[in-house]
Amino acid sequence: MRFVPLGGFLGAGKTTTMIAAGRRFEGAGSTVSVITNDQGVDLVDTSLAAASLGDVSEVTGGCFCCKFEDLAAVVTRLTSDAHPDVVLAEAVGSCTDLQSTVIRPLRHFYGDDLHVAPLTVLVDPVRYAGLSPLWDDPATEPDLAYLFRHQLDEADIIAINKADLLSPVEVGRVRDQVQVRFPHARVVAFSAATGAGLDELVALWATSGSGEHRPFAVDYRRYGAAEAELAWTNQSLSLRSATTFAPAEWVRHLLAELGSAAARAGMTVGHVKVRVTSPDGTTKASLTGAGAEPTFDEQLWVPTRTAEVVLNARVRTSPDDLDTLIGRCLAAADAATGADSGTRAGDVFRPGFPEPVHRM
Ligand SMILES: Nc1nc2c(ncn2[C@@H]2O[C@H](COP(=O)(O)OP(=O)(O)OP(=O)(O)O)[C@@H](O)[C@H]2O)c(=O)[nH]1
Ligand SMILES: [Mg+2]
């Protein structure tokens, strides 16, 4: 059983890559399982992956390192029951130190029963352009930039995603910059959305990675502080309308409001993802930057009277401010489309301090 660990900052494209790669493996006759991971429950990623690939498990309520026993329970079940050829596992996007707290413990406890592929860390080139200049002065480097740098520093493979958004010259420039900065890593560029370069990445997962990765020092105080700067929420709600509304129209208004309000307030948007299920199908869209254009993975314009919504948001602000912001933006989307988003269920919180079960 090959276990493929995927890391990388919020919104880098881990879930999109798991689904695209999973389909390739299935197309080649392999059986695939997916493991999603989050600080909370009610995950857009799980419903998205489950709609595309067969077997999906979750590790919730904390990252793989802090919930290692839960991850191990899933891996043990898979090795003893389902026996997939490939397990694609997506770590929480604000998590780092995976080599020491997840990869090495898995190799240690499972030995030859599990072939752990190289740690692949995905990068959104827009995020890289925003955060990497902040590394230049150690005295002023923000904790979030520190976290982002350490995610890349521990990677066996750095996979620059969303190459479709750049020209080939720009892709080459980013790849060169990343390679110079992180010389130990194998750097590739690809697009999970178009599939360009995906075969090359998938082929690298058949190699063994650097089991010998150098001992790796992470300042947990800074890592924890970076995570705690983020407010985190997973919410669900029901949309109703006395007339009808188009789910994609409602999502477009919601994310446009959220993006522009976050930009006005100077909030960094890690990732806001929304999945709306109505009787005719689903709409799924993401916002990965304040003021950025939302990206739609699925969109349904068929009018409906009812729909169910799951909303996951990770934004650099306080939990109270995030909740207020979401409430305001839901009201704006409702007013623009004639929908009524009713009562919301779910928690708004800051991720707890990272306390890995193992560190080796
Ligand atoms: N243009 C473009 N968009 C992409 C690509 N890959 C992912 N996206 C979009 O980026 C957004 C975030 O992608 P996800 O796969 O959800 O990112 P993630 O890393 O799983 O995010 P978290 O789970 O929140 O950490 C989605 O709207 C995707 O459609 C790509 O190759 N090109
Ligand atoms: Mg994801």
Q: What is the CATH number of the domain that holds 71?
A: 3.40.50.300
The number of distinct structural domains making up the chain is 2
pLDDT at residue 217, as a whole number: 87
| Predicted confidence (pLDDT) per residue in 94-110, tens digit | 999 999 999 999 999 99
> Where does the pLDDT of residue 76 fall: very low under 50, low under 70, confident under 90, or very high at 90 and above?
very high
Examine residue 338 and state whether it is found in any structural domain, yes or no. yes
pLDDT band at 39 (very low <50, low <70, confident <90, very high): confident
Same domain, 6 and 88: yes
Closest by CA to 206, choosing from 120, 121, 275, 305, is 120
Residues 322 and 177 in one domain: no
Q: Which atom of ligand 1 is nearest to the CA of 286?
A: 27
- Domain finish residue from 174, 208, 227: 227
Looking at the structure, tell me whether residues 40 and 119 fall in a common domain: yes
Asked whether residue 356 is assigned to any structural domain, the reply reads: no
CA distances from residue 58 to 50, 135, 313 in whole angstroms, order as listed: 11, 33, 18
For range 261-268, the mean pLDDT: 96
Q: Are residues 45 and 75 in the same domain?
A: yes
Q: Is residue 214 located within the same domain as residue 273?
A: no
Whichever domain contains 286, its CATH number is 3.30.70
DSSP code of 137?
-
For residues 234-243, average pLDDT: 97
Do residues 53 and 180 both lie within one domain? yes
Interval between CA 288 and ligand 1 midpoint (Å):
8
The verdict on residue 360 lying in a domain is no
Q: Do 223 and 241 share a domain, yes or no?
A: no
155, 117 in Cβ contact below 8 A?
no
Q: Is 93 in the pocket of ligand 1 (CB under 6 A)?
A: yes
156 with 241, same domain: the answer is no
pLDDT, residue 210, reads 56
33: confidence class by pLDDT, cuts 50, 70, 90: very high
Domain interval for residue 314: 233-349
Cα of 292 vs centre of ligand 2, distance in Å, is 18
Tell me 129's DSSP state. H
171 and 65 housed in the same domain = yes
Q: What does the chain come to in residues?
A: 360
**Does 147 fall in a domain?**
yes
Does residue 178 sit in the same domain as residue 238? no
Cα distance from N-terminal residue to C-terminal residue, the chain: 22
Confidence of residue 20 (pLDDT cuts 50, 70, 90): very high
Which of 10, 16, 201, 272 is the pocket-test mutation for ligand 1 (most atoms within 8 Å of CB)? 16
Q: Does 34 reside within a domain?
A: yes
Q: What average pLDDT is seen over the chain?
A: 95
Give the H/E segment covering residue 87.
strand 86-90
Task: Band the pLDDT of 87: cuts 50, 70, 90.
Answer: very high
Mean predicted confidence (pLDDT) in 76-81:
94
Judged by its nearest atom, the ligand closest to the C-alpha of residue 127 is: 1
pLDDT band at residue 215 using 50, 70 and 90 as cut-offs:
low
Confidence bin at 213 (pLDDT 50/70/90): low
Ion ligand 2, residues whose Cβ is below 5 A away:
14-15, 45
Give domain status of residue 358, yes or no: no
In a domain, 354, yes or no: no
Considering the domain architecture, whether residues 130 and 217 belong to the same structural domain is answered as: yes
For residue 24, what pLDDT is reported? 96
pLDDT attached to residue 212:
59
Token pair, residue 157, equals 């493979």
| 307-351 confidence digits (pLDDT tens) | 999 999 999 999 999 999 999 999 999 999 999 999 999 999 999
51 and 124 belong to one structural domain: yes
Ligand 1 site, residue 210, Cβ cutoff 6 A: no
Q: With pLDDT > 90 as the criterion, what percentage of the chain qualifies?
A: 93
